[in-house]
Amino acid sequence: MSDSNVEQAPASKGALPLLSLAALGIVFGDIGTSPLYTFKTILNLAGAKPDPVVVLGVLSLVLWTLFVVTTVKYVSFAMRIANDGEGGILALMSLLGVKKQQRPMIIALGLFGAALIYGDGAVTPAISVLSALEGLDMATPIFKPYILPGAVIILVGLFALQPLGTAKIGKAFGPIMLLWFICMAAMGVSGILHHPTVFAALNPLLGLSYLATHGVTGFLVLGGVFLCVTGAEALYADMGHFGPTPIRLSWFAVVFPSLILNYAGQAALVVEGAPTDGNIFYRLCPQMMLIPLIILATVATIIASQSIITGAFSMTRQAIQLGWLPRLGIRQTSAEGYGQIYVGVVNWLLMLVTVGLTVGFGKSDNLAAAYGIAVSSTMLMTTVLLFIAMREIWGWSLAAAGAVALGFALVDGAFFLANLAKIAEGGYVPLIIAVVIYGLMWIWHRGAIAVGNSMRDKLESVDTFVARVESNKICRVPGTACFLTRTVKDTPPVLSWHVKHNRSLHEHVFVLQVAILPVPWLREKERLEITEIAPQFWRGKARYGFMETPDVPLLLKDSKALGCTVDLDDITYYVGHETVVHREDGTGLPHWQEAIFGLMERNATHVSDFLRLPNESVVEIGRQIAI
């Protein structure tokens, strides 16, 4: 089984440890801080003070969940399927050809899975930071009234820092998370020494026996067990930042062993008779080191939250590139990587929801009820897409792909059903968020298709347009007109409308399409491609890397070197601005969808600002598009 379109490991062997260290800070924050709240949530669901058989049973479920879901499904299977090195459910959806084929089932799965990640992303910072600060109550009860306000302050500060970028402090994320995992492992070992027999939980039969003998309680406990892998989807989604090899190395060498040891240590303390009230994680720590550990845990949860926020930004960009969201203001905050971006709208909306959840639920125990259902749903959808990928990309037989996918689906389905029980207690929150985001994506895409269909009916070939200009003796005026367009052929609608309404055309015409490529920089000779498609009528395609700021006026100064003879000393830029209206024939979008699409379109980033066009030389041509 070979990797498909996966980014190769770094050529330099010395780069691999550094990339693996960086991956600890970006990829593993969520799953790495889950021991703060997972085991205590499981025991709360298990009911009365658990006996050793129960503790070993649920520990077995945790360990084997980490192995099957994270190690087997994501590290061993999903990360072998990439879209030009990118992972995640949207990249997988795109890879399966949804841009070229009508596959509504795959589109629905991919988009709703992505929308669910937004919903869970709002819960993750809240539960992580709260669970870290709740250790202060164990240090001294005097801190208890300040836990919730402190969590709110930390979260607001985290979101407020996003516009500044995280490149500089991000360099410390990896070492800090390495220290966190080392401390977790050491604490776990200290707990295991109290009761080494907890390693009997490596026998999967203990977990299966617990499920078989505890009925409804055992089933509900699965909802808590699932919390140990809520960050597994990030392994796949963040693959494009580092490539698969550094992530796998970090997982097997550091993260997986640390999680096993810590969960086993917590279980050992409970078997030994330690109280199960409060946070069991902090009971592994010596009292004199409790405050430093709480500080480290808080920093680790901030890093985990940062990873979630960055993931939301990246997910938004993928959705925009795939045509499921309007163009939003996306700003690169660092030259060090494609993922170092800032999306203001997403940042502030996510902050409002996260802070609202923190205040509304108040405690990490309460938030645990809202946590997991979104990710379990996404994992189930990912399994369906992986089955299709095994068949279409790897060429596996139906029996082989079905057997593997069925195994994953049984596990994912069990966790999904267990998490459904959380809906009434707070699980509805991420689901509502996901439904709203999915709805916006769906409406935007429907509206964009309707606009495209309406405009396509009005397109004419360049030859027809030129002939019409000559036959109608359209007046040619001095200077150059540059028409910005998204069309790759035919006459841009903005050009046709200009001639129709102004009954004139500049002597020199330049039609320009601008494309942003997923590379940081381009060589100057790759920047611009120009073709003369009619006398004094030029078509150009400009290309920019994601770290470069498009500057069309500066770019056109280099066009003469490519043989273009347009007059750049007297140039006017023409951009189209569509206003959507409702179709009168009753075949268009429903009024409410048209209204939402229009609102989104009006708030999208303006193309003239994006391309740095001088305001005094821009003519905006408005036209109504009936959808």
Say if residue 86 is in the same domain as residue 136: yes
Domain end (from 400, 418, 447): 447
Number of domains in the chain: 2
Give helix 38-46 / helix 52-65 axis angle, nearest 10°. Answer: 130
Q: What is the pLDDT of residue 10?
A: 40
Say if residue 412 is in the same domain as residue 489: no
- 79 pLDDT more than 80: yes
Sheet arrangement for strand 528-534: 528-534, 537-545, 504-517, 475-484, 571-581, 618-626
Domain assignment of residue 534, yes or no: yes
Say if residue 386 is in the same domain as residue 504: no
Question: HEC string of 191-212?
Answer: HHCCCHHHHHHHCHHHHHHHHH
CA atoms within 13 Å, Cβ hemisphere of 414: 19
Domain end (from 388, 419, 447): 447
Query: What is the percent of the chain with per-residue pLDDT over 70, rounded to a whole number?
Result: 92
- 5 pLDDT more than 70: no
- 8 pLDDT more than 70: no
Q: What is the pLDDT of residue 457?
A: 65
Average pLDDT over residues 445-449: 85
Average pLDDT over residues 255-269: 95
β 537-545/528-534 pair status: antiparallel
Say if residue 438 is in the same domain as residue 474: no
User: Averaging pLDDT over each range in 1-10, 402-411, 465-474, which range is the top one?
Assistant: 402-411
The encoded tokens of residue 562 equal 């490519």
Q: What is the pLDDT of residue 62?
A: 96
Say if residue 515 is in the same domain as residue 436: no
Say if residue 422 is in the same domain as residue 519: no
Q: What is the pLDDT of residue 568?
A: 72
Domain assignment of residue 11, yes or no: no
Q: Which residue has the higher pLDDT, 342 or 168?
A: 342
- 98 pLDDT more than 70: no
| List of residues 6+ apart from 276 with CB closer than 8 A | 40, 43, 49, 50, 270
Q: What is the pLDDT of residue 349?
A: 92
Domain end (from 418, 447, 476): 447
Query: What is the percent of the chain with per-residue pLDDT over 90, rounded to a whole number?
Result: 27
Domain assignment of residue 14, yes or no: no
Q: What is the pLDDT of residue 443?
A: 92
- What's the CA gap between 41 and 371, in Å, rounded? 11
Domain assignment of residue 417, yes or no: yes
Domain assignment of residue 341, yes or no: yes
Say if residue 215 is in the same domain as residue 75: yes
Lowest mean pLDDT among 335-339, 520-524, 529-533: 335-339
> Tens digit of pLDDT for each residue in 421-442?
888 888 888 889 889 999 999 9
| CA angle (230 as vertex; 172, 442 as ends), nearest 5 | 105
- 11 pLDDT more than 50: no
> Tens digit of pLDDT for each residue in 130-167?
888 888 877 777 888 888 999 999 999 999 988 887 66
- Give the number of other CB atoms < 10 A from CB of residue 314: 22
- What's the CA gap between 465 and 11, in Å, rounded? 52
How far does the chain reach from its first CA to its final CA, in angstroms? 47
Which residues span the domain enclosing 567? 459-626
Residues 282 and 56 sit within 8 Å (Cβ to Cβ)? no
Sign for the pseudo-dihedral over CA of 278, 281, 286, 287: negative
Nearest Cα neighbor of 358 from 118, 143, 150 is 150
Q: What is the pLDDT of residue 190?
A: 93
Say if residue 477 is in the same domain as residue 415: no
- What's the CA gap between 49 and 57, in Å, rounded? 14
Say if residue 268 is in the same domain as residue 248: yes
Q: Which residue has the higher pLDDT, 524 or 208?
A: 208
β 475-484/504-517 pair status: parallel
pLDDT band at 262, cuts 50/70/90?
Answer: very high
- What's the CA gap between 225 and 268, in Å, rounded? 17
- 336 pLDDT more than 90: no
- What's the CA gap between 518 and 524, in Å, rounded? 16
- 486 pLDDT more than 60: yes
Average pLDDT over residues 475-502: 84
Say if residue 227 is in the same domain as residue 167: yes
- Give the number of other CB atoms < 10 A from CB of residue 134: 26
The CATH number covering residue 49 comes to: 1.20.1740.10
Lowest mean pLDDT among 149-153, 315-319, 343-347, 413-417: 315-319
Average pLDDT over residues 232-240: 79
Average pLDDT over residues 217-222: 90
Domain assignment of residue 386, yes or no: yes
> Tens digit of pLDDT for each residue in 52-66?
899 999 999 999 999
pLDDT band at 6, cuts 50/70/90?
Answer: very low
Say if residue 170 is in the same domain as residue 211: yes
pTM confidence score: 0.81
Say if residue 508 is in the same domain as residue 439: no
- What's the CA gap between 287 and 298, in Å, rounded? 17
Domain assignment of residue 12, yes or no: no
Nearest Cα neighbor of 358 from 297, 305, 300, 293 is 305
- What's the CA gap between 268 and 261, in Å, rounded? 10
Domain assignment of residue 241, yes or no: yes
**539 has which bridge partners?**
511, 531
pLDDT band at 520, cuts 50/70/90?
Answer: low
